[in-house]
A and B are shown apart, each in its own frame.
Chain A
Amino acid sequence: MELKQYNLFFLYQETVALTKRLFIQLKRRPSTLLAGILQPIIWLFLFGALFSKAPEGFLPGVDSYGNFLGAGLIVFTAFSGALNSGLPLMFDREFGFLNRLLVAPLASRLSIVLSSFFYITILSFVQSIVIMIVSFVLGYGWPDFYGLGIVFTTLILLVLFVTSISLCLAFVLPGHIELIALIFVINLPLLFASTALAPISFMPNWLGWLASLNPLTFAIEPIRIAYTQTMNLDVVALHAPYGDLTCKSCISILFSLTVFSLIIIRPLLNRKLN
């Protein structure tokens, strides 16, 4: 992407303009934001109520099911938002607006991708913070300062990872119908095949394996630790079938996945944008 020709100010100017456009769209059509907040809140209420009479000690290390569920829903909120991040780009492709952007002498066409990253990261953070506040009001706890840092770091990594995949799909798939269909297909199965709703010890062996390989699990478990105990990166966060993983290991795996995904989508973006 013509790295040598970057003019940082121009890159900043065009990235701000592209991001601002996405936020104006959000302001005038806030349904995506509201749905992204309402859905996990409803889940929090319903699932919290569903298991409210579960016997004490039913779940290891937590007081209540709501306390357990919070981390999963925070991650699910960020994940769903990031998974949908390819949609605005897909619509721009379909309606020819992307071509309008591409005839402009952009300092780097990377700004189109960067603006999507900024937009979806901020949006996911806003949604996740609302879920965290609702969880707190419902009495499901609040992480300490160090824990908050872990929560946000984990969310940034997850959002970058999933957004890069979604943007990639937005360029590869023929239209928004196919993209929405794929989002439908992978969204809930990935949630259920993770530790968002139940610990691995509750799952059959095959599902335990799936859950312990699921990137969502690597994001959920450090956040769950941040919610349930004093944050310590060396504490075991996941009892996977292949061995125990600490918070640090989970975050490192998530970091590696993110870097890997950013590296593998780069040639595709180069091909599509240049």
Chain B
Amino acid sequence: MNYIQITDLSKSYSDIEALKDLSLEINAGILFGILGPNGAGKSTLIKILATLVEPDGGEVFINNINLIKNPRKIRELIGYVAQDIALDKILTGRELLDFHSDLYHMKKKEKYERIKLLINQLQMNDWIDRKCGTYSGGMKRRIDLAAGLLHLPKVLILDEPTVGLDIESRNIIWQLLKDLKNDGMTIILSSHYLDEIDKLADSLVIIDDGKVIAQGTPAQLKNKLGGDRITLKVREFSTHEESKKISEILSSIDGISQVIINKAQGYSINFVVDKEKDLLTKLKVELAFSKFEIFSLAQSQPSLDDVYLQATGKTLLDAEISMTGKRDLKKESKQSMR
């Protein structure tokens, strides 16, 4: 049995369906990535796992404990690092960690040892005794992460922990996550950064519109695409008709297994190709023969973004952009308030 079992999870906020019968299985001791654009349902899933939001339907079991029926037992197992950093600005970092360790009922000796260890691990010695209100974004994120790790949770849940961070803080957090995973901790990391999930995750799920659209290891998901990607544009902003016509002409070339027209990127044409064959030359010849000019043409290895593109017909960046302005962040913030 998997360590974390999520079955048919659903959640709605007034007229918005955030999760639609979502099911997942997560093994113990891995770093599990949750990838998806803003508004895909990642944070709702994370909040349900952190016992902060009650689902409308479905079940969640962590280590065979029913999350909905025994939230307190689940809280003993999990550490949670929220997307929005919540610190008491008036306390110093050390006072904040001391405060949190009391909420986790740690013994005096144990808590001082843990606090000392985490201060060293997250390189916080130089500023730990300053008030949290004076910290930079990276410092805040590190102290927030330390607070979530005080009680040595079996499962660490992180909601977009590196958003807006400087490179130094991001690298420190990445290294810590790798170390924690090597020590046997199960880590659930939600992100909309492809490289982060690609580098860190042993297994991942891609969520879009509250549903799972792909699940597996990064390599499995990329291999499923069947080959390299070639992206072609005959002009900066083409039309659907033009791109369709070109794709019909080019799709018969031997070695092209799939053609996707990407509307969000000016109707660019994406080919899934056999990487063993030199298809760039063939494409150039065929385009010249058909009297089409080339605006851009590039071949690359498949990425997680291609996996997302394959499933949804849009890139992750495009999905992010399309969500801009559609979300009422103030309303969502109010909804997440108790």
Q: Do A and B bind each other?
A: yes
> Can you name the residue of chain B whose Cβ is closest to the Cβ of A99?
B52
Q: Is A24 an interface residue (CB 8 A)?
A: yes
Contact residues in B for A94 (Cβ distance below 8 Å): 337
How far, in angstroms, from A102 to B194 measured CA to CA in the complex? Answer: 31
Contact residues in A for B131 (Cβ distance below 8 Å): 28
0/1 per residue, B199-225, Cβ < 8 Å to A?
Answer: 000000000000000000000000000
Known contacts A100-B82, A101-B103: does B72 contact A171 (CB below 8 Å)? no
Tell me the minimal C-beta distance from B286 to chain A in angstroms: 56
Contact residues in A for B86 (Cβ distance below 8 Å): 95-97, 99-100
Which stretch (B73-81, B229-237, B245-253) binds chain A?
A: B73-81
Contact residues in B for A106 (Cβ distance below 8 Å): 72, 75, 103
In the bound complex, do residue A98 and residue B75 qualify as a contact, i.e. CB atoms below 8 Å apart?
Answer: no
Q: Is B242 an interface residue (CB 8 A)?
A: no
In the bound complex, do residue A174 and residue B105 qualify as a contact, i.e. CB atoms below 8 Å apart?
Answer: no
Contact residues in A for B90 (Cβ distance below 8 Å): 24-25, 28-29
> Can you name the residue of chain B whose Cβ is closest to the Cβ of A9?
B105
Q: Is A107 an interface residue (CB 8 A)?
A: yes
In the bound complex, do residue B72 and residue A14 qualify as a contact, i.e. CB atoms below 8 Å apart?
Answer: no
In the bound complex, do residue B91 and residue A104 qualify as a contact, i.e. CB atoms below 8 Å apart?
Answer: no
Contact residues in A for B103 (Cβ distance below 8 Å): 14, 17-18, 101, 104, 106
Please tell me the number of chain A residues within 8 Å of chain B, measured between CB atoms. 33
Name the interface residues of A95-125: CB closer than 8 Å to any CB of B: 95-107
In the bound complex, do residue B80 and residue A103 qualify as a contact, i.e. CB atoms below 8 Å apart?
Answer: yes
How far, in angstroms, from A136 to B104 measured CA to CA in the complex? Answer: 46
> Can you name the residue of chain B whose Cβ is closest to the Cβ of A102?
B52
> Can you name the residue of chain B whose Cβ is closest to the Cβ of A274?
B71
Please tell me the number of chain B residues within 8 Å of chain A, measured between CB atoms. 29
Name the interface residues of A211-246: CB closer than 8 Å to any CB of B: none
Name the interface residues of A57-96: CB closer than 8 Å to any CB of B: 93-96
0/1 per residue, B36-53, Cβ < 8 Å to A?
Answer: 000000000000001110
Contact of B51 (CB < 8 Å), options: A5, A21, A103: A103
In the bound complex, do residue A102 and residue B338 qualify as a contact, i.e. CB atoms below 8 Å apart?
Answer: yes
How far, in angstroms, from A142 to B338 measured CA to CA in the complex? Answer: 45
In the bound complex, do residue B338 and residue A93 qualify as a contact, i.e. CB atoms below 8 Å apart?
Answer: yes
Q: Is A187 an interface residue (CB 8 A)?
A: no
Contact residues in B for A25 (Cβ distance below 8 Å): 88, 90-91
In the bound complex, do residue B72 and residue A174 qualify as a contact, i.e. CB atoms below 8 Å apart?
Answer: no
Most B CB contacts (10 A, CB to CB) among A17, A99, A174 go to A99
In the bound complex, do residue B52 and residue A10 qualify as a contact, i.e. CB atoms below 8 Å apart?
Answer: no
Name the interface residues of A146-193: CB closer than 8 Å to any CB of B: 171, 174
In the bound complex, do residue A24 and residue B91 qualify as a contact, i.e. CB atoms below 8 Å apart?
Answer: yes
Contact residues in A for B324 (Cβ distance below 8 Å): none
Q: Is A273 an interface residue (CB 8 A)?
A: yes
In the bound complex, do residue A21 and residue B99 qualify as a contact, i.e. CB atoms below 8 Å apart?
Answer: yes
In the bound complex, do residue B95 and residue A24 qualify as a contact, i.e. CB atoms below 8 Å apart?
Answer: yes
Contact of B337 (CB < 8 Å), options: A10, A28, A93: A93
> Can you name the residue of chain B whose Cβ is closest to the Cβ of A15?
B102
Tell me the minimal C-beta distance from B72 to chain A in angstroms: 5
How far, in angstroms, from A93 to B338 measured CA to CA in the complex? Answer: 7
How far, in angstroms, from A19 to B54 measured CA to CA in the complex? Answer: 28
Tell me the minimal C-beta distance from B187 to chain A in angstroms: 16
Known contacts A25-B90, A96-B82, A99-B336: does B105 contact A107 (CB below 8 Å)? yes
In the bound complex, do residue B50 and residue A272 qualify as a contact, i.e. CB atoms below 8 Å apart?
Answer: no
Name the interface residues of A1-24: CB closer than 8 Å to any CB of B: 2, 5, 10, 13-14, 16-18, 20-21, 24
Contact residues in A for B95 (Cβ distance below 8 Å): 24
> Can you name the residue of chain B whose Cβ is closest to the Cβ of A272?
B338
Most B CB contacts (10 A, CB to CB) among A24, A25, A104, A273 go to A104
Tell me the minimal C-beta distance from B131 to chain A in angstroms: 8
In the bound complex, do residue B338 and residue A273 qualify as a contact, i.e. CB atoms below 8 Å apart?
Answer: yes
In the bound complex, do residue B52 and residue A97 qualify as a contact, i.e. CB atoms below 8 Å apart?
Answer: no
> Can you name the residue of chain B whose Cβ is closest to the Cβ of A273?
B338
Q: 22 A-B residue contacts at CB 8 Å?
A: A5-B72, A14-B102, A16-B102, A17-B99, A17-B103, A18-B103, A21-B91, A24-B90, A93-B337, A96-B86, A97-B86, A98-B338, A99-B82, A102-B51, A103-B75, A103-B80, A104-B75, A104-B104, A105-B75, A105-B76, A106-B75, A106-B103
Assuming A13-B102, A104-B100, what are 10 further A-B pairs, CB within 8 angstroms? A18-B103, A93-B337, A93-B338, A97-B87, A98-B338, A99-B338, A103-B51, A103-B75, A105-B72, A105-B105
Binding site for A on B (CB under 8 A): 50-52, 72-73, 75-76, 78, 80, 82, 84, 86-88, 90-91, 95, 99-100, 102-105, 131, 147, 334, 336-338
